[in-house]
Amino acid sequence: MTFKRSSSLFLLLVALVTGVVVMSAVAFSAMARGGWDIGWGMGGGHMMGGGANTSNAPVSVGNSTESVAIRDFAFTPGNLQVPVGAKVTWTNYDAAPHDATAKDGSWGTGIFSKGESKTLTFDKAGDYSYYCTVHPSMVARLQVR
Ligand SMILES: [Cu+2]
């Protein structure tokens, strides 16, 4: 009797622990896919809504090789001007995947992960609003002139 009760308690405990482990794994994989933005927001309050619109920042005038950092769900510089022919490299510093895609659909980096970079060459003048398709409220501006 005593043995039987303690063994069923043990089974209950095993079931509980298994449940917690499975739920943790599900939550972690959801975050790893970038599905849950909540929890990555320690970097300065850009997080509400899953991204920051930095397109109205003062224009950053660059030269023919420029970099844009993607950090804390924001593009920096958010308003970049480069000459025609410039190469622009986006680098993802977040745990979440991101991309940079023109709102008019004319160009896009494709989605890339932490530590990865994508470079595009801009051979024509244009004034682009662009965003992250994973987190559409991440918005920035690129002026090629
Ligand atoms: Cu993103």
| Tens-digit pLDDT profile for residues 33-43 | 444 444 444 44
Residue 22 Cα to ligand 1 midpoint, Å, equals 27
Residue 84 Cα to ligand 1 midpoint, Å, equals 26
pLDDT (tens digit per residue) in 60-74:
999 999 999 999 999
Residue 3 Cα to ligand 1 midpoint, Å, equals 55
Tally Cβ neighbours within 10 Å of residue 71: 16
* CA of residue 135 relative to chain centroid, distance: 7
Q: What is the pLDDT of residue 50?
A: 78
* Dihedral class, residue 91 (left if φ above 0, else alpha if ψ from -120 to 50, else beta): beta
Mean per-residue pLDDT over the chain, rounded: 81
pTM above 0.95, yes or no: no
| Superfamily the domain 43-144 falls into | Cupredoxins -  blue copper proteins (2.60.40.420)
